[in-house]
Amino acid sequence: MKPSLSVLLAALAAAAFATTAGAIPSGDAPVKSPYPMDCSKWKDQARCESLKKDIEACRDKTDDDWRECMHRAAPAGKFTPPKPRDCTKAQNVARCEAHNTALENCKQMPTKAEHRKCMSGAAPAPGKS
């Protein structure tokens, strides 16, 4: 007796589904990030750690909720303002002193961007004459 083609196809389909069903994970397995972040290679390690925490906290959100969750100000790195220059050897002493005065006025700025903004508007530098 010869098996019919439909019986062979049914058996083949059953065997295929039986092997793939065991490969599909079931239950609540911990989901690991496909792109692990190695903070040892980052310049600003505090920012990397903060970003990792934000990603973990926002993992269950999608679309606009995820963007809203992730859109937080990153902690600023430590910034030390530059030291004043020695104006005794400067070609343009007035310009050097104006720069040092601006440094003194802007030394309390916490971030590099704020410091630059303060320095650019602190005092107009005298010309190169």
Q: Note the pLDDT tens digit of each residue in 24-54.
A: 555 555 555 556 778 888 888 888 888 888 8
- The answer to whether residue 38 sits within a structural domain is yes
Structure tokens at 87: 């104006």
Note down the domain range covering 56.
Answer: 34-75
Q: Which pLDDT score is estimated for 91?
A: 92
- The answer to whether residue 12 sits within a structural domain is no
Overall domain count for the chain = 2
Q: What is the pTM of this model?
A: 0.40
Q: Which pLDDT score is estimated for 92?
A: 92
- Of residues 81 and 77, more confidence is placed in 81
- The answer to whether residue 18 sits within a structural domain is no
- The answer to whether residue 24 sits within a structural domain is no
- The answer to whether residue 103 sits within a structural domain is yes
- The answer to whether residue 61 sits within a structural domain is yes
- The answer to whether residue 82 sits within a structural domain is no
**Residue 64 sits in the same domain as residue 92:** no
